[in-house]
Amino acid sequence: MTHIEVYTDGAARGNPDGPGGYGAVLKFTDKSGELHVKELSDGFDKTTNNRMELLGVIKALEALNHPCSIDLYSDSKYVISAFNEHWIEGWLKKGWVNASKKPVKNRALWERLLKAAEPHNITWHWVKGHAGHPENERCDELATTAADENPDMLLHDDGGDLKGVC
């Protein structure tokens, strides 16, 4: 199974319901040792930070063409804890109700994320935001730029290519 590193971040201005964006960086080294990098970002007019954190992960996973072994890095404890602390398993058992017996927020995005993650073997890593981690800083830059400049749902794709391997 091909290995890929995925870094994601989300941002929202005036959270909730201000402009927001997500950023993702996908990195893959092919058999010849050549590094391939693809960057994704998108901006939205009215959203929340958590929605953008989720969408960054979703869009990164949906960009992959076949099952991969993935190390996924995010500074969102909301996203990472849902997997590493098994929140999702509890939500599914309880019919998308959280520990406070309230409906899980952003259920449609969580369901989309689960579908996008299904074919992959993912290890979820939390990284401290704004702490100098180069890929996390780049994702933050992509997300905030998208929030500030692309609130009409414009897509940024740098044209990077993973050569169809993932």
Whole-model pTM: value is: 0.90
Asked if the structure places residue 164 within a domain, the reply is: no
Query: Residue 123 is part of which domain span?
Result: 2-157
The total number of structural domains that make up the chain: 1
Q: Where are the alpha helices (DSSP H) in 30-166?
A: 49-62, 77-84, 87-93, 107-117, 134-149
135 assigned binding-site residue? no
30 assigned binding-site residue? no
Asked if the structure places residue 22 within a domain, the reply is: yes
Active site residues: 9-10, 53, 75, 130, 140
For residues 148 and 45, what is the distance between their CA atoms, to the nearest angstrom? 10
Asked if the structure places residue 116 within a domain, the reply is: yes
Asked if the structure places residue 108 within a domain, the reply is: yes
| pLDDT tens by residue, 57-71 | 999 999 999 999 999
161 assigned binding-site residue? no
| pLDDT tens by residue, 34-87 | 999 999 999 988 899 999 999 999 999 999 999 999 999 999 999 999 999 999
Q: What is the CATH number of the domain that holds 54?
A: 3.30.420.10
Asked if the structure places residue 163 within a domain, the reply is: no
